[in-house]
């Protein structure tokens, strides 16, 4: 048995098990329909392993106050269709309806409880000590009804909230298959000696990526970082390139404390500049058309929405020679076809390389699937923020909770 429990350690047949998954999914803003069920599919392995248990699923969708914070009814329907077994949705989380539903479960039955983010405790007790979360109404009411808690929400591993970590010292908490595989594959990429090791960072959350770049270069986790998307633009700005007003205002809007981030990027370049690749050319959106432009011709009066063809070629060559690759985030505005070129070409180059490849980021699974490439990577992480935090060397509350539970309940559960 390792530093935390896994599903292989415990016989859960006939037991009542609370399972915390992350099926937070992109929804169609108009119809509310689930646009990608990738995260639901990821959890099927865990749910199949629990086929003889009495299962109550906990999950969140969206953030309180946002349009995508909706009931989990259609998630339950999709789960049932994918599993080929009935899954009952219960529109309650801690009330009598939920408690009765859990008490009345038979082995092999699954209920999905209400969106945990409908309940104020989830936010109010965020980042509070585990002891305090253990006293939440959620834990106090549900824990006595179950023998075990299965924690499988890797994509929310960076969140310390009662429905994720509040149960760990109250009932034995076991890692699900998603968590087990994520940690195994990410650790393999981080500790691999197969060099050169490349990080490719894109997307618009450039502040997060900056922290990861610094950490990975400092620790020699990777030899070189290739930057695309908003991250590449931040580094160009830090080099003193005038990226132009329309692009700059997008970055200022999307990235908190943008000025400070530019200063931080400058410091990272000062230390590791020879190991960081920035775009050599870019693609402008001129009334919906793609117009290539070399960096030396900036500033541009039109927004930059992709890396340019020369950069794509150069990065593809570096990718071809790499032995380990960690890629996070798209290279451009991939939702618009003319500006999807960089993302598509880099994803394809990584997919075709012989390296050990790990990709991740909020939209990444959906992009990989849209390109039909998801099977070509060694690992497609479900994590966005969780992945970035892990790569940056920050402790994940979910992993801490699993360890605490193992320490508290010992070798025989």
Interface residues toward ligand 3PG, by CB under 6 A:
22, 24, 63, 155-156, 159, 384-385
Of 66 and 271, CB closest to ligand 3PG: 66
**In angstroms, rounded to a whole number, what is the distance separating the alpha carbons of residues 228 and 209?**
11
Say how many CA atoms lie within 13 Å of 366 toward its Cβ: 17
Binding residue for Mg ion, selected from 272, 385, 392, 403, defined by CB under 5 A: 385
Query: Alpha helix locations (H) across 86-158?
Result: 96-103, 120-124, 130-134, 137-142
- What's the order of all strands across the beta sheet hosting 173-175? 5-6, 173-175, 148-151, 16-20, 54-58, 110-112, 88-89
Nearer to Mg ion, 311 or 382 (CB): 382
Window contacting Mg ion (CB under 5 A); options: 115-123, 233-241, 252-260, 385-393: 385-393
Spatial separation of the C-alpha atoms in residues 176 and 5, rounded to whole Å? 9
| Residue 155 touches which of ligand 3PG, Mg ion, none (Cβ within 5-8 Å per kind) | ligand 3PG
Indicate the residue among 66 and 253 with the shorter CB distance to ligand 3PG: 66
How far, in Å, CA of 316 to CA of 283, rounded?
17
Look at residue 156 and give the partner it binds from ligand 3PG, Mg ion, none, a contact being a CB closer than 5 to 8 Å depending on partner kind: ligand 3PG
Our CB check for ligand 3PG shows the closer of 63 and 132 to be 63
Distance CA 278, CA 270 (A): 14
Q: Which does 180 bind (CB under 5 to 8 A by kind): ligand 3PG, Mg ion, none?
A: none
Q: How far is the CB of 152 from Mg ion (least distance, A)?
A: 17
- Minimum CB–partner distance for residue 397 and ligand 3PG (Å): 11
Asked if 1 contacts 411 with a C-beta cutoff of 8 angstroms, the reply is yes
At 346, is the secondary structure helix, strand, or coil? helix
Q: 413 exposed, middle or buried (CB, 10 Å; 0-12, 13-18, 19+)?
A: middle
Phi then psi for residue 203, to 5 deg, are 85, 175
Closest CB 382 distance from ligand 3PG, rounded Å: 9
Q: Which does 22 bind (CB under 5 to 8 A by kind): Mg ion, ligand 3PG, none?
A: ligand 3PG
Of the two residues 166 and 384, which places its CB atom closer to Mg ion in the complex?
Answer: 384
Nearest approach, Cβ of 204 to Mg ion (angstroms)? 13
Least distance CB 411 / ligand 3PG (angstroms): 32
Smallest gap, in angstroms, from Cβ of residue 172 to ligand 3PG? Answer: 24
Tell me the C-alpha distance between 79 and 301, whole Å.
47
Smallest separation, CB 32 to ligand 3PG (Å): 17
Cβ atoms of 157 and 397 within 8 Å: the answer is yes
Residue nearest to ligand 3PG (CB): 24
Q: Can you give the binding site for Mg ion, defined by CB under 5 A?
A: 384-385
């Amino acid at each position: 048995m390792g530093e935390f429990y896994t599903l292989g350690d415990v016989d859960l047949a006939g037991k009542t098990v609370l399972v915390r998954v992350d099926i937070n999914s992109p929804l169609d803003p108009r119809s509310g329909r689930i646009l990608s069920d990738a995260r639901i599919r990821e959890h099927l392995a865990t749910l199949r392993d629990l086929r003889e248990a009495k299962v109550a699923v906990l999950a969140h969708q969206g953030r309180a106050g946002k349009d995508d914070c909706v009931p989990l009814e259609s998630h339950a329907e999709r789960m049932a269709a994918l599993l080929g077994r009935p899954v009952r949705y219960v529109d309650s989380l801690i009330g009598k309806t939920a408690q009765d539903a859990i008490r009345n479960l038979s082995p092999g039955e699954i209920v999905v409880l209400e969106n945990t983010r409908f309940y104020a405790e989830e936010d109010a007790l965020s980042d509070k000590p585990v002891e305090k979360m253990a006293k939440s109404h959620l834990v106090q009411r549900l824990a006595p009804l179950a023998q075990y808690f299965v924690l499988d929400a890797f994509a929310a591993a960076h969140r310390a909230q009662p429905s994720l970590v509040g149960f760990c010292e109250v009932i034995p908490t076991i890692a699900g298959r998603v968590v087990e595989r994520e940690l195994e594959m990410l650790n393999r990429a981080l500790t691999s000696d197969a060099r050169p090791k490349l990080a490719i960072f894109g997307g618009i959350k450039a502040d997060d990526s900056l922290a990861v770049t610094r950490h990975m270069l400092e620790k020699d986790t990777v030899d070189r970082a290739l930057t695309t998307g908003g991250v590449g633009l931040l580094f160009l700005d830090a080099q003193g390139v005038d990226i132009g007003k329309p692009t700059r205002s997008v970055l200022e809007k999307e990235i908190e404390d943008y000025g400070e981030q530019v200063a931080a990027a400058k410091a990272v370049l000062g230390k590791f500049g020879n190991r960081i690749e920035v775009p050599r050319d870019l693609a402008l959106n001129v009334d919906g058309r793609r117009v290539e432009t070399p960096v030396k011709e900036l500033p541009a009066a039109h927004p930059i929405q992709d890396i340019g063809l020369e950069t794509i070629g150069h990065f593809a060559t570096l990718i071809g020679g790499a032995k380990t690759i960690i890629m996070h985030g798209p290279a451009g505005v991939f939702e618009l076809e003319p500006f999807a070129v960089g993302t598509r070409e880099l994803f394809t180059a990584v997919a075709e390389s012989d390296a050990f490849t790990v990709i991740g980021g909020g939209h990444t699974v959906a992009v990989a699937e849209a390109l039909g490439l998801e099977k070509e990577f060694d690992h497609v992480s479900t994590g966005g923020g969780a992945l970035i935090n892990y790569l940056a060397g920050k402790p994940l509350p979910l992993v801490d909770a699993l360890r605490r539970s193992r320490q508290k309940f010992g070798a025989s559960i």
